[in-house]
Structure 1
Amino acid sequence: MPANTTASSGQQADRSVRKKGRKGRLFVIVLVLAIVAGVGYGAYWSVSTVRASFPQTKGSIKLAGLAGPVDVKRDGNGIPQVYASSDEDLFMAQGYVQAQDRFWEMDVRRHTTSGRLSEMFGKSQIETDEFLRTLGWHRVAQEEYDSKLSPETKKYLQAYAKGVNAYLAGKDGKDISVEYAALGFTNDYAPQPWTPVDSVAWLKAMAWDLRGNMQDEIDRSLMTSRLGPSQIKDLYPGYPYDRNKPIVQEGTYDAASKTYEPKGTGQQGQTGQQGQTGQQGVGTGSGTGSSAAGGAQAATDGLQSQLAGLSEVLDGIPAVFGPNGNGIGSNSWVIAGKHTITGKPLLANDPHLSPQLPSVWYQMGLHCRDVSENCSYDVSGFTFAGMPGVVIGHNQDISWGLTNLGADVTDLYLEKFTGDGYQYDGKVVPFKTRKETIRVAGGESKPITIRETENGPLLSDRSDELGTVGKKAAVDSSAPDRGDGYGVSLRWTALTPGKSMDALFAINRAKNWNEFRKGAADFEVPSQNLVYADTENNIGYQAPGRIPLRAEGHDGSLPAPGWDPDYRWTGYIDQDALPYEYNPERGYIVTANQAVVDPDKYPHALTSDWGYGARSQRITDLIESKTKAGGKISTEDMRQMQTDNSSEIAKLLTPMLLKIDVSDKHVREAQKLLEGWNYTQSPDSAAAAYFNAVWRNVLKLTFGHKLPKELRVKGECLYVEPAENTGPADEDVRVQECGERDADSAQPDGGDRWFEIVRGIVKDEDNGWWKTPSDKEIDTRDELFAQALEDARWELTAELGKDIDSWSWGRLHQLTLENQTLGTEGPDFLKFALNRGPWNLGGGEAAVNATGWNAAGGYDVIWVPSMRMVVNLDDLDKSKWINLTGASGHAYNAHYTDQTDKWARGELLDWAFSEKAVEETTADTLSLRP
């Protein structure tokens, strides 16, 4: 279900890193706050100002618009449970309470989705707004609200908006959040009323960050400037189906009925409406395809600089969930009752997203006092502030979790311009255009024109560099004459109005598998892996989503020629044809962004850019280590699995690294740390720190000088020989020196794709990838490993000190929580006031405890298990949950980060659900009255 990455605490904290850890600074806010004197500003930042916006959590409030009384019961962590007697009152109260805790966050989010950040933060956000307006998230959300969503869903959205606006009524900005008080120094911005479409648009931001392989399309094209087809194939290895099991293992596709038929002990459910039927023939996902795919490749030759420009544009777009389109991971798994201590299912979920303050999640319970036709919800879980309903959690009958499926739902098209139109199938077609105006705080408004082709909006209009596409290009003879040039457009499923909001409410009130699947059929974007369990001892999995079908020979792995009709989408996979499982014989289902189904058993291409299954197979192994020996799994076992720190790449490489003959005594001293190491990346492990430094240097030496310069990471900190020996006379101690990386090189991010790349070549000691064009004269694997061991020793000497007894992975691998707006820019005093940390963490890249880091930039944590939950379907009151931060978005509120210490230690909180359990844990009660 996409972040700034940092290399080492302090020295690299402000470096922007592309690729997997890239987020392109979420909001580049250049505020006049920087000119405010620290003393004067500190005086204004008084206790009364900070506390003025804290929510009222006790007593009684009259709320115009309520039909009946509502009670809001908060536990000791400030987590609210809302009790009402009608659906409209329930969702109105949800809007009110979320606005109490998180309205600043909600307001910034809606300005993101509508391309209106400049209204809050000034001219620094104009380019971001231009791109967001071009994508048109809010415009599509409006179309969904007007024409797609059910009357019932609209009623809930209206009630939610009414609750938010009831909170805003009569309040100044400083009464809502201290950030508004800070913003008041620079402009006269005042929050506007909330609308139902503001809530719907948030799903577009979610879909954008989980959009799939757009960056991979660009990268594969860029690689052709330096690498041949076989080398690119090395860098995009096939999924290891023989080693890492796909999600769906039982069942087959029935060609006659065009449906997926699961094999299991439960009855087959039925979905709701079907998607559009299209051509079934699709490419293999290899990136080579037929001669048509060759035409797409030829059409992109010579466009490397323009595609690199697109990468830069994408980097500037706020990534509210995680690194843009890459590296978004999550774990979820469900265990049938036959394998659990309770005899009923257990379900676990932990989405891996960028660390944010406050967390993207908001814990909440929504309870009808009496579940009936008039009030149909009794649900609890993780919500998004700004959107009604529960996204992940459970009701009184079922539980569900989400991970990113990663389906390929985007395609980039090269468009040929002629005059005021573009070429398609030998004809000139006029652009669809619209004009919009961007209002700018403290400046003049800026009008923009947005152009679209039949394939989608022209992203190239938002970049001077992209606007020159084709002028320098050397395209193949199948492309039209250059004429007026080329552009780049985007086809994306989320730009077609859909009914995902309907799906959310349907799942929230589903009572069984059939109702769950019917609701899931409308969960069109983003495409997610849905796991399921119920109190009747059933488990299941469903792959929903609007997933395109492409013409034979076009697999979506490269940008396509927009003038050629053979590259148009031919339809969407029918919902009944999407893979699912229900009560599989093995008794468990694991999803962790691995392949969904073996392609030999399924005719449709979902994507070729899966995660490679390091996490999913580790979870599977942990489950089977218990169940195959006849053991039973408990809630505590599930928690321990979530915090498993084992490194799969360490298991592969460490035995080889220990065989390297090292002459330098200091390097040999570090090498010995790996002897007897169990590959567990605990915070206090010196071996984990050293291995990950070695891994980073293996990647740098093996691939760093071979990847195209367009993929390069700027601002890399390198470790070099000092001009003079800075250590004791008998020691060679190197120092850190930060500077610009080699302009002709790039650095791998080190994710599980790189695990698989190295696995594919590691047994070939003379493979060409090991040869390094440098004065080091490295020709073989072992020579390169020896150099990596040495470089890592001196890197950690500079980072952690000469004494290896003082080394630990946690000191290197730190999490700092930054307020995603004013905590990233502005005066240091404001950052100190809003930000928290650091925390020393265990875990690591592609571990189950996925505290991700980016080898291109360093070791600091750039994405995390953003929450964790374990649902006990035998007794819902014995379920457990934890959030990354806390319920409150108010700095200095007791619940701003009150869950983070426990989260960092891998602990879970008790999760009360029944009215009795909630009452026993209630610390504050607020009564909302008509």
Structure 2
Amino acid sequence: MPPNTTASTGQQPGKSGRKKGRRARLLVLVLVLAVVAGVAGGAYWSISTVRASFPQTKGSITIKGLSGPVDVKRDGYGIPQVYASSDEDLFMAQGFVQAQDRFWEMDVRRHMTSGRLSEMFGKGQVDNDEFLRTLGWDRIAKQEYDKTLSASTKKYLQAYAAGVNAYLDGKDGEDISLEYAALGFTNDYKPQKWTPVDSVAWLKAMAWDLRGNMQDEIDRALMTSRLGPKEIADLYPQYPYDRNKTIVQAGQYDEATKTFGPTGSASSAGSTAGGTAGTGTSSGTAGLQSQLSGLQEVLDDLPTAVGVNGNGIGSNSWVVGGKYTITGKPLLANDPHLSASLPSVWYQMGLHCRSVSSKCQYDVSGYTFAGMPGVVIGHNQNISWGMTNSGVDVTDLYLEKLSGDGYLYGGKTVPFTSREETIKVAGDSPKKIVVRETKDGMPLLSDRSDELVKVGRKATVDAAAPDRGDGYGIALRWTALDPGTTMDAVFAMDRAKDWTDFRAAATLFDVPSQNLIYADTENNIGYTLPGKIPTRTQGYDGSVPVPGWEPRSRWTGYIDDDELPYEYNPARGYIVTANQAVVDKAKYPYTLTTDWGYGARSQRITDLIQSKIDDGGKISTDDMRQMQLDNSSEIAKLLVPKLLKIDIDDKDVREAQELLEGWDYTQDADSAAAAYFNSVWRNILKLAFGNKLPKELRVEGQCLWVEKADTTGPVDEGESKVRECGERDADQAQPDGGDRWFEVVRSLMGDENNDWWQTPSSGTRPSADNRDELFRRAMIDARWELTAKLGKDIDTWNWGRLHRLFLKNQTLGTEGPGFLQYALNRGPWKLSGGEATVNASGWNAAGGYGVVWVPSMRMVVNLGDLDKSKWINLTGASGHAYNAHYTDQTDKWADGELLDWSFTDGAVDESTSDTLVLKP
């Protein structure tokens, strides 16, 4: 899976003429492939070749191993609902059906999780494989399967694998997907059988992308090369507990019983078993700086699993109790924010036992991952649940002092545990590497970079580090590197009947730690924080790398399940989770993290719900949908009144400033004001902070296609566009513009002469010595930036021309031949929304305005009538390019629409378009 690179130029047709456009693209594809194939050796790809891998959705197929017939009913969007009479048949059929739609995606995923991408894509992926082998996801997954998972979970995983392999039986690569046929030009790779461990390992990849504050840990340490403690504190302000509400508001920790509950005695707030803001070591050594800078480059090159390499990840979920809904029963909404991928990371399906009993226990529908049995988010006949990333700190980086074949610990040299790994490389000779780990199972990440090894050996030693041996290395402690039980949790949630069952299931959900919200048909709502969350000694809070040679820097244990925060039926009648702080630090003794999301989205959702309640209204399913689409910019509400007070002499800049007059702060795709404001915001960040941050923090900006300055034509005209990459001085870092930066700027607003507001002149652009002068400069720079991008006539400006989504197939669609990128990729879509809004179509101010993460799906579950629930996926059910269901949900998703979500037998039958019977 090559890492994300440049955006594709593939065009997405409008709603009108979509079918005609699809047929035209198919014809072009066949012609192009025929020419290329002829050059490659005389093979001819026909329409039948392109369609060969499309799934059979009608009639019957015989599958060895089933105990009885299974019905697969697909609706008009190809979403399958599977009906069986035993658990094993149900999950075997799930494996077969997912492989029909998505096996290429599944195969690439398992090669990523096992560090075997080079087997498929050649030597360009060797560096990634080396790092992934060092993490050892598949090794840990095998330990989970062998030692920690329950017998029933193993049985389900085996049945799922049998279903996948039944699909593969007798098929060549081109029978499975177009990508295999294309890969055959240069590679003789053949898919292997699926194993239960392949399914478990995907949870490790998901956990990696949702790993929490590791990037902040690196950044804070790198900042010390140029910034002092006060300046760093300016850039990491405290969570605004007084303004943005936490998830848990009514519960409290009871110091006497060591439990968390809705009632309890006042805890000794601040008796931090988790530590304070101490660093444990000086972060200014040349060794640590160089090691972390090199590590950052390695991390940036890794392919993503579900996120953007740990950056910018958020999600929304909330539940409203029946007291405030039209139905009188709870409504539950969820939209996880993940990297945009094609196909979507999510796969929609239903898993139904014809009769729920001890032999067949499941009646569940929702979202799962292709390659993994069960349902991850959704509802069964009794309960519904959703997830957002909790962001709790489950990773620590350790600076290790190396000596010979060991590392210093407690004044002694301790040998590493080593293993040799062989990486097979398509078209090249294998490569062997040695992976070294400490006694705690911490892999030495720095071994994976020649530069890190070299620098580590030459590292300068300061007073905080023992002067001994061969240099430094960086090791990782991470909860996901221990065998866990998350796969058990998935099945337990799928069959949970009530809050007690759900809470018990949550205790098994150890990695990644997620905010879990809950609702049931008996009118109960709840929240619980699960996860394996470490405790640390006083002086170590996980905010910066720590000295590995100090025994007291090691984790002391994990927070007990009974001590983790939760809420059940709070008096306010609703619960909101959107990556904000879980609980007020004054009410909880453990440090869960030092790096929460700052609550811009969560408080906006809270305000929307509360305003509806205060007005005496009842909330409907469509109200929940409309809240998901809220585009209001919290930072615009703060800055625009200030921007409008600034005197502007230049008439062109004044013309742009006038766009902000009367603007309601909503970032609709057709809004010129939103385009201009976001450019001003980006330039404020660049001017105030960009030239003051260490260059090691530099994040490469993505490339996107924008219209030429001299055209106002429609965006679908390819000849009117030019490719633009995020521009930046090579020695300058730039903030990403997320809600932490909202809080940074908010905290500095009252200090108009703060040094952060100073910036030098540039060409004809004036310098700034205070806040308003810098704002004026940002407005000037934004005017001419958008003139270059969108043209001089501001009547043609709109946010959607800057803020667009390209969907790229995550393998050959990123680094494959141009004709394959055209065949596999789709876009652009002009999107509303923005960074840290509820409708979180995220963009990174360090690299432009293009969309880099999205609401990867949206759902609203109606516990009063499950058949009136609604859902949508980013793309479609199919992973096959030119299948009707490849991106058939994307237009509706972009427009904020939701599809009907049938659940009961009668509703599913009514919505069924195709029925396939799997026979034993």
Please give the TM-score of this superposition, normalised by the length of structure 2: 0.92
In structure 2, C-alpha distance between the alignment counterparts of 1:247 and 1:395, rounded to whole Å: 25
Verify the 8 A CA contact 2:329 2:523 in the aligned structure 1: yes
Q: How far off is 1:709 after superposition?
A: 1.1
Q: How far off is 1:481 after superposition?
A: 1.5
- Helix, strand or coil: the match of 2:812? coil
In structure 1, C-alpha distance between the alignment counterparts of 2:703 and 2:165, rounded to whole Å: 48
Verify the 8 A CA contact 1:303 1:472 in the aligned structure 2: no
Matching of residue 918 in structure 1 with residue 908 in structure 2: yes
In structure 2, C-alpha distance between the alignment counterparts of 1:649 and 1:611, rounded to whole Å: 15
| Structural mapping, 1:81-230, within 5 Å | 81-230=81-230
Matching of residue 524 in structure 1 with residue 510 in structure 2: yes
Q: How far off is 1:298 after superposition?
A: 4.5
Q: Which residue pairs with 1:240 in the alignment?
A: 240
Amino acid at match of 1:645: N
Q: 1:235 to 1:143 in 2, by over 3 A?
A: same
Q: Which moved more, 1:462-471 or 1:224-233?
A: 462-471
Q: 1:263 to 1:874 in 2, by over 3 A?
A: farther
Q: 1:717 to 1:786 in 2, by over 3 A?
A: farther
In structure 2, C-alpha distance between the alignment counterparts of 1:827 and 1:44, rounded to whole Å: 18
Q: Which residue pairs with 2:719 in the alignment?
A: none
Amino acid at match of 1:252: Q
In structure 2, C-alpha distance between the alignment counterparts of 1:664 and 1:716, rounded to whole Å: 32
Matching of residue 650 in structure 1 with residue 650 in structure 2: no
Q: How far off is 1:877 after superposition?
A: 0.2
In structure 1, C-alpha distance between the alignment counterparts of 2:332 and 2:615, rounded to whole Å: 21
Q: 1:302 to 1:452 in 2, by over 3 A?
A: closer
Q: How far off is 1:486 after superposition?
A: 1.1
Verify the 8 A CA contact 1:280 1:549 in the aligned structure 2: no
Q: Identify which of 311, 314, 318 aligns with 1:326.
A: 311
Amino acid at match of 1:678: D
Q: How far off is 1:737 after superposition?
A: 8.9
Q: Which residue pairs with 2:273 in the alignment?
A: 281
Verify the 8 A CA contact 1:336 1:345 in the aligned structure 2: yes
Matching of residue 687 in structure 1 with residue 673 in structure 2: yes
In structure 2, C-alpha distance between the alignment counterparts of 1:473 and 1:650, rounded to whole Å: 45
Q: Which moved more, 1:826-835 or 1:104-113?
A: 826-835
Amino acid at match of 1:204: K
| Deviations 1:849-884, CA, capped at 9 Å, x for gaps | 000000010001000000000000000000000000
Q: Which residue pairs with 1:602 in the alignment?
A: 588
Q: Which residue pairs with 1:563 in the alignment?
A: 549
Verify the 8 A CA contact 2:527 2:575 in the aligned structure 1: yes
Matching of residue 765 in structure 1 with residue 752 in structure 2: yes
Q: How far off is 1:477 after superposition?
A: 2.3
Matching of residue 787 in structure 1 with residue 777 in structure 2: yes
| Deviations 1:730-764, CA, capped at 9 Å, x for gaps | xxxxx999797323211111000000000010122
Amino acid at match of 1:745: Q
In structure 1, C-alpha distance between the alignment counterparts of 2:43 and 2:569, rounded to whole Å: 62
Q: Identify which of 826, 830, 833 aligns with 1:840.
A: 830
Matching of residue 47 in structure 1 with residue 77 in structure 2: no
| Structural mapping, 1:495-506, within 5 Å | 495-506=481-492
Q: Which residue pairs with 2:896 in the alignment?
A: 906
Q: Identify which of 741, 749, 754 aligns with 2:736.
A: 749
Amino acid at match of 1:502: D
Q: How far off is 1:469 after superposition?
A: 4.4
Q: How far off is 1:488 after superposition?
A: 0.7
Q: How far off is 1:597 after superposition?
A: 0.2
Q: How far off is 1:103 after superposition?
A: 0.1
Amino acid at match of 2:550: D
In structure 2, C-alpha distance between the alignment counterparts of 1:716 and 1:51, rounded to whole Å: 33
Verify the 8 A CA contact 1:298 1:475 in the aligned structure 2: no
Q: 1:226 to 1:341 in 2, by over 3 A?
A: same
Q: Which residue pairs with 1:854 in the alignment?
A: 844
| Deviations 1:631-667, CA, capped at 9 Å, x for gaps | 1100000000000000000000000001110011111
| Structural mapping, 1:696-707, within 5 Å | 696-707=682-693
Q: 1:38 to 1:786 in 2, by over 3 A?
A: farther
Q: Which residue pairs with 2:71 in the alignment?
A: 71
Q: Which residue pairs with 1:259 in the alignment?
A: 259
Verify the 8 A CA contact 1:248 1:579 in the aligned structure 2: yes
Verify the 8 A CA contact 1:305 1:710 in the aligned structure 2: no
Verify the 8 A CA contact 2:287 2:455 in the aligned structure 1: no
| Deviations 1:122-170, CA, capped at 9 Å, x for gaps | 1111111000000000000000000000000000000000000000000
In structure 1, C-alpha distance between the alignment counterparts of 2:61 and 2:125, rounded to whole Å: 38
| Deviations 1:807-848, CA, capped at 9 Å, x for gaps | 010111000100000111122211111001100000000000
Verify the 8 A CA contact 1:702 1:784 in the aligned structure 2: yes
CA RMSD of aligned residues (A): 2.2
| Deviations 1:577-631, CA, capped at 9 Å, x for gaps | 0000000000000000000000000001100101000000000000001012221
Q: Which residue pairs with 1:671 in the alignment?
A: 657
Amino acid at match of 2:311: N
Amino acid at match of 1:283: G
Verify the 8 A CA contact 2:382 2:520 in the aligned structure 1: yes
Count of residues in Structure 1 that have an aligned counterpart in Structure 2: 872
| Deviations 1:547-578, CA, capped at 9 Å, x for gaps | 00000110111111101001010000001100
In structure 2, C-alpha distance between the alignment counterparts of 1:536 and 1:886, rounded to whole Å: 33
Q: Which moved more, 1:559-568 or 1:463-472?
A: 463-472
Amino acid at match of 1:403: T
- Helix, strand or coil: the match of 1:428? strand
Amino acid at match of 1:752: D
Amino acid at match of 1:882: I
Amino acid at match of 2:427: G
Q: 1:227 to 1:38 in 2, by over 3 A?
A: farther
Verify the 8 A CA contact 2:331 2:863 in the aligned structure 1: yes
Matching of residue 637 in structure 1 with residue 617 in structure 2: no
In structure 1, C-alpha distance between the alignment counterparts of 2:413 and 2:503, rounded to whole Å: 44
Matching of residue 306 in structure 1 with residue 288 in structure 2: no
Matching of residue 415 in structure 1 with residue 405 in structure 2: no
In structure 2, C-alpha distance between the alignment counterparts of 1:339 and 1:407, rounded to whole Å: 31
Q: Which residue pairs with 2:411 in the alignment?
A: 426
In structure 1, C-alpha distance between the alignment counterparts of 2:701 and 2:904, rounded to whole Å: 53
Identity, % of aligned positions: 75
Q: Identify which of 866, 872, 883 aligns with 1:876.
A: 866
In structure 1, C-alpha distance between the alignment counterparts of 2:686 and 2:44, rounded to whole Å: 48
Q: Which residue pairs with 1:711 in the alignment?
A: 697
Q: How far off is 1:40 after superposition?
A: 4.6
In structure 2, C-alpha distance between the alignment counterparts of 1:326 and 1:494, rounded to whole Å: 18
- In the alignment, structure 1 segments of 5+ residues that lack a partner are 12-32, 265-278, 719-724, 728-734
In structure 2, C-alpha distance between the alignment counterparts of 1:499 and 1:726, rounded to whole Å: 58
In structure 2, C-alpha distance between the alignment counterparts of 1:690 and 1:127, rounded to whole Å: 41
In structure 1, C-alpha distance between the alignment counterparts of 2:435 and 2:462, rounded to whole Å: 29
Q: How far off is 1:472 after superposition?
A: 4.1
Verify the 8 A CA contact 2:291 2:473 in the aligned structure 1: no
In structure 2, C-alpha distance between the alignment counterparts of 1:119 and 1:492, rounded to whole Å: 27
In structure 1, C-alpha distance between the alignment counterparts of 2:423 and 2:158, rounded to whole Å: 27
Amino acid at match of 1:500: T
Verify the 8 A CA contact 2:727 2:847 in the aligned structure 1: no
| Deviations 1:389-442, CA, capped at 9 Å, x for gaps | 000000000000000001100000011111111110011111101111111111
Q: 1:10 to 1:152 in 2, by over 3 A?
A: closer
- In the alignment, structure 2 segments of 5+ residues that lack a partner are 11-31, 265-270, 712-721
Q: How far off is 1:454 after superposition?
A: 2.4
Q: How far off is 1:5 after superposition?
A: 8.2
In structure 2, C-alpha distance between the alignment counterparts of 1:182 and 1:716, rounded to whole Å: 26
Q: Which residue pairs with 2:533 in the alignment?
A: 547
- Helix, strand or coil: the match of 1:93? helix
In structure 2, C-alpha distance between the alignment counterparts of 1:95 and 1:673, rounded to whole Å: 53
Q: How far off is 1:180 after superposition?
A: 0.2
- Helix, strand or coil: the match of 2:841? coil
Verify the 8 A CA contact 1:713 1:741 in the aligned structure 2: no
In structure 2, C-alpha distance between the alignment counterparts of 1:928 and 1:77, rounded to whole Å: 20
Amino acid at match of 1:180: Y
- Helix, strand or coil: the match of 2:842? coil
- Helix, strand or coil: the match of 1:297? coil
Q: How far off is 1:476 after superposition?
A: 2.9
Q: Which moved more, 1:679-688 or 1:317-326?
A: 317-326
